[in-house]
Amino acid sequence: MTADRTLILLAAGGTGGHMFPAEALAGELLRRGFTPALVTDRRGQAYGGTLGAIPVHRIHAGAIAGRNVFGLARGIATLALGTAEAFLLMRRLRPAVVVGFGGYASVPAVAAAIATGIPTAIHEQNAVLGRANRLLARRVSQVATSFAAVSALPPDARVVNTGMPVRPAIPVLRTIPYPSLAADDPASAPFRILVLGGSQGARILSEVIPAALALLPEPLRRRIDIAQQCRPEDIEAVRRAYRASGIRADLASFFTDVPDRLAAAHLVIARAGASTVAELTTAGRPAILVPYPHAVDDHQTANAHAVAETGGAWPMPQDVFTPPALAARLQSLIEMPVMLEKAAACARATGHPDAASRLADVVEALATSSRHTTTTTTTTTTTGRKVA
């Protein structure tokens, strides 16, 4: 079957960390005249937006890391089944390029593409190469990374640093200056804190941050204006804690206007997931990052330190993320606004607002190379027949 030179298959696990960059790339590919389609497991079907508007192909996928012997056997069998399904999919669709975004759902599709001679790329969101991507990194045509340095990469991998694609509203924030505090009256200027954290491990943020702010001197507490994401079951307790310490707080389990809140924030306190870190560096906002300690391969710690090394954030491991320690850090930052401005500039300098475009360039180059290879092969075959 003739290959479809405009079809790009995006293979991703069903979690948001894998799906968000896939969606950003899908949008950019559509703008360039390509036809993206998604390959995922059953979890990926729940996503809307651009991914909800393109064809979706479901295959079997199962994790193999961190399992007991029975779970390992089941995961291997499921991956084998998914790979067989992916082979059939490649033969039927003949895409120009297959791009994997991690998660075990990406492994069968990328492996099948490699075996059938289709150009491939993988994108790694974190500062540690994910376990699914480790299975593929040596064999794909290109490895795209979010960070300049990524551990666990094989030495012979073909690597390009594209950055982590973010939602379209975030790069716009680069045009909005950091809300400087240096010239304001320190006795009355509000200090805006944004706390981001989803359901995974967010409870510690709801416990520590209100207690830490309560320890600040009363003049500083009067200045605090905090917006915080909390688990639904924690919101009332957090609201009572802030009310008791006289702190203005806007609490919700989900903010629909994160870009606006990020633009206004003087400081962000958050976990160190790849999407969060990418949005902070793209927007240019300083942060206290509390890595989720149970993340696979402790990749959030690597993410946090990668930003800290540039001067754009302050990591606080969860075991030292206590109310007294956080209160001391916050007081020093509030009283020295020049440190925050410098950190904001450092964060901004490391961001890749054009990450989706850079990643699309990689894909387009692979598609062009594939097209030339196909044309050469076809010409040679035709010429051979004529000579014969």
Q: What is the pLDDT of residues 229-287, one digit of tens each?
A: 999 999 999 999 999 999 999 999 999 999 999 999 999 999 999 999 999 999 999 99
Output the furthest CA–CA distance in the chain (Å, rounded): 92
- Asked if residue 290 lies in contact with residue 272, where contact means CB atoms within 8 angstroms, the answer is yes
Q: What is the DSSP letter of 171?
A: G
Q: What is the DSSP letter of 128?
A: B
Burial (CB count within 10 angstroms: exposed 0-12, middle 13-18, buried 19+), residue 372: exposed
- Output the six-digit token pair for 160: 């390009």
pLDDT band at 340 (very low <50, low <70, confident <90, very high): very high
**365 φ, ψ to 5°?**
-65, -40
What value, to the nearest 5°, has the Cα angle with vertex 312 and ends 161 and 199?
Answer: 85
| Distance (Å, whole) CA 145 – CA 178 | 27
Is the per-residue pLDDT at 386 higher than 90? Answer: no
| Distance (Å, whole) CA 270 – CA 161 | 24
pLDDT, mean over the chain: 89
Q: Which stretches of 14-148 are assigned E, i.e. beta strand?
A: 35-40, 56-58, 95-100, 120-124, 142-145
pLDDT at residue number 372: 55
Distances (CA, A) of 324 to 69, 194, 293, 320: 44, 19, 20, 10
Read off the amino acid at residue 251: L
- Asked if residue 122 lies in contact with residue 144, where contact means CB atoms within 8 angstroms, the answer is yes
pLDDT at residue number 47: 64
Q: What is the pLDDT of residues 343-368, one digit of tens each?
A: 999 999 999 999 999 999 999 999 99
Provide the CA 2 distance to its chain's centre, in angstroms. 35
| Distance (Å, whole) CA 166 – CA 177 | 19
- Asked if residue 39 lies in contact with residue 11, where contact means CB atoms within 8 angstroms, the answer is yes
SS3 category, 152: coil
Q: What is the mean pLDDT of residues 29-48?
A: 83
pLDDT at residue number 381: 35
Q: Can you name the residues that pair with 194 across neighbouring β-strands? A: 227, 268
Helix axes 337-349, 274-283, angle to 10 degrees: 110
Q: What's the number of CA atoms in the CB half-sphere (13 Å) around residue 203?
A: 3
pLDDT band at 4 (very low <50, low <70, confident <90, very high): confident
Is the per-residue pLDDT at 82 higher than 70? Answer: yes
Is the per-residue pLDDT at 27 higher than 80? Answer: yes
pLDDT at residue number 76: 77
Q: What is the DSSP letter of 116?
A: T
Q: What is the pLDDT of residues 292-302, one digit of tens each?
A: 999 889 999 99
